[in-house]
Amino acid sequence: MDVSGKGLRLVVISGFSGSGKSCAIKCFEDLGFFCVDNLPPQLLPPFVSLCRKSGNVISKAAIGIDIRERSFLENFLKVFDRFVEKGYVIELLFLQARDEILQRRFSESRRPHPLAKEDTVLDGIHREKKILENLRSRADRVIDTSDYPVHRLKEVIAHYYLEKRTDRRLNLSFTSFGYKYGTPYDLDLLFDVRFIENPFFVEALRPLTGNDLPVKNFIINLPETKAFLEKLFSFLDFLLPLYEKEGKSYLNVGVGCTGGKHRSVAIVNQLKDYFHEKGVAIHCRHRDIVLDA
């Protein structure tokens, strides 16, 4: 069967149970994708064939594939490799979340983990992680949904998948965070700014954030900050054209400080302003800005 799928954009969504695959499917549906959830891997080639025969009726589709399907990995990877061999570009999106988040979601929903059997939910989570390790390593994009409400997940999916495929410009995502709350999983580049003097220890600045002008001025006027930003801008100016040359569409840059409230926020804002002036597509979030109050 011919699965070359010219003109069809296909995103396959998989990941850990409880990581938000059903929500992601709904997000893709809202973005105009034709969506099918829990499609058995062996039905993927016939599905693509039907989409092609629809003409322009179905030009982009999102397929959810779940670990609960028997022989999931073996069947899916065979189909996936067949698509690649025939030159068809199929995008694999893998969703994940931290163990404690997955455990809490199953507890709140009162659903059993599909791989827990007679064991605990956490046992099922660990078992599934081992099984899906290879699949995760082959994903085109990994999104950690631990800190994402539904509307935020939709924004992220729209940012990554609503772009025109012919647009070769690199899309930049900047994330500020606090190391005390854990490092984001989906970063390409990571910068630690804990060497900068901490406004937290200045009583008047402690309740403010890096979005506030007094904190911003305190941070960016430090000699070490000025030197760091000059070198960081130069470094990224050097890297971005090389990433674009290699065909990379998205670059996730993380900036971390202790609590994710002052220094990392101010630095990410400087990066956002710098590259916005250059006309680069920017996506920015401050993950932990309200957590270190």
- pLDDT in the model for residue 93: 94
**53 vs 169, higher pLDDT:** 53
Domain boundaries of the chain, sorted by first residue? 9-161, 171-286
- pLDDT in the model for residue 260: 95
Angle formed at CA 71 by CA 65 and CA 75, multiple of 5 degrees: 70
Average pLDDT, the chain: 85
Euclidean distance between the first and the last CA atom of the chain, given in angstroms as a whole number = 58
Contact yes or no for 169/244 (Cβ under 8 A) = yes
- pLDDT in the model for residue 3: 41
- pLDDT in the model for residue 87: 72
Contact yes or no for 262/219 (Cβ under 8 A) = yes
pLDDT at 72 over 60: yes
Contact residues for 89 (Cβ-Cβ < 8 A; gap 6+): none
Q: What is the mean pLDDT of residues 203-225?
A: 96
The structural architecture, per CATH, of the domain 9-161 is 3-Layer(aba) Sandwich (3.40)
**DSSP bridge partners of 64:** 13
- Range in 79-88, 157-166, 189-198 the model is least confident about: 157-166
Report the b/e string of 81-102 with b at 16+ CB within 10 A.
eebeeeebebebbbbbbbeebb
- Range in 52-61, 88-97, 203-212 the model is least confident about: 52-61
pTM: 0.59
- Range in 101-105, 137-141, 168-172, 175-179 the model is least confident about: 168-172
